[in-house]
Amino acid sequence: MAKRKSGFDVHGILLLDKRPGVSSNQALQEAKRLFKANKAGHTGALDPLATGLLPVCFGEATKVSGLMLGQDKRYLTTVKLGVMTDTGDAEGNVVKTAPVPAISATELNLSLGSFLGASEQVPPMYSALKQNGVKLYELARQGKMVERKARSITVYELKLLAFDGEEMVLEVFCSKGTYIRSLAEDMGAMLGSCATVTALRRLQVGQFQLTDANTLGRLAELDGPALMACLLPVDLPLQTLPAIQLSESETKSIQFGQSIQHLQSYQGMVRLYHCAAFLGLGEMFRDGKIAPKKLFNLNNELPNIK
C-alpha cells in the first residue's frame, strides 16, 4: 500500500499506560506520532489526573473501538473524605468541606456494600458528555450548570484496600459509563460528609490488563520492528464471536461484497478468515448464508523509525 504524506497505514491495538497530567487525546496524539500512523482513536477517555490503561486503536482497529467502549472497567482510586471540589477530583477548586464522622474500616465496608449492583448515576458537569452539541465541561467552565439525565450503571465489585479515617483506597470493577468521581461524591454524602478523588488508575478494560501496557517513554526507546511488535491483533476483542474459515473463492466473493453459501450454519455475527488472515465480520444465517458486514484491510506498513 502506498505511503501517504501524513504517515503510514498501521493497524493494531496498543495498550498504553497513560501518565498523569495529560488528556487522553494528548496521549493518543503522542502515540500516533510515535508510530507515524495515519489513523488512530482511543476507547474511552481518562481524566488528566488519571493514569493507567488506555487502549489505542490504529488504522483498521478503529472499526472495533466501539465494541471496546462498552466493556467493563476496573479502577484503583484514592478518595479523600471531608472535601468536595467543583470537578470531583484534586484538580478542581474546593467548594465544600465537612467533618468526617468517626467510622471503622469494618463499618465503612458495610456502608460501601450499598453501592454494589445496578443503580442510576447522574454524570458530573465536568465530563465530555454533550448537551445540545456542547461538552458539559465547557459549560461548567463558563459557570453554567445544566440538568443531566441519570444513567444506568452497575458496580460489580467494590473493595476497601486501605482506610486511615480520612482517605480510603478502593478497587472498583464497574460497567461502562460509571464515573468514579460521582461515585466518590455519593460515598461522601452517604457517610454524612463529602468526598473527592485524589488519585485514579485504570487497571482493566474488558479483557485487557494494565500489566500488559507500555508507557510512551518505553515505547520511544524501541526501533521499528520492536515497536510494531507491541501492537495487538485487530481481531483480539472479537474472540467471543465464532470464527469461520473461507476458501479462496469464498474469500474473493466476500471481498467483492457478495454473500456466500457456507457449509456451516449459525445465526449471528461471525469472524471471517482465509487461512490465518482476518478478513472482517459477516452475518451468518441459519441456512448457512453469510453476508459481509465489516471488512478489514490489514496490510501493515512498517514505519521508518530509528
pLDDT in tens, 144-196: 677 778 889 999 999 999 999 999 999 999 999 899 999 999 999 999 999 99
User: Which of these ranges, 91-100, 126-135, 258-267, has the smallest mean pLDDT?
Assistant: 126-135
Q: Is domain 236-295 annotated with CATH 2.30.130.10?
A: yes
Gyration radius (Cα) of the chain, Å: 23
Percent of the chain with pLDDT over 90: 70
CA distance 186 to 115: 9
User: What backbone phi and psi angles, to 5 degrees, belong to 140?
Assistant: -60, -40
Asked if the model's pLDDT at residue 1 lies above 60, the reply is: no
User: What pLDDT is recorded for position 265?
Assistant: 74
Q: Of 9, 17, 47, 86, which one is the catalytic site residue?
A: 47
- Residue 218, classed as helix, strand or coil, is helix
**Which tens digit of pLDDT belongs to each residue from 234-254?**
999 999 899 999 999 999 999
pTM of the entire predicted model:
0.89
pLDDT band at 142 (very low <50, low <70, confident <90, very high): low
Q: pLDDT averaged over the chain?
A: 89
72 is catalytic: no
Residue range 70-74: average pLDDT?
Answer: 92
Q: Which three cell numbers stand for residue 30?
A: 503522542
Architecture of domain 73-205: 2-Layer Sandwich (3.30)
| Domain boundaries, given as residue ranges, for the chain | 73-205, 236-295
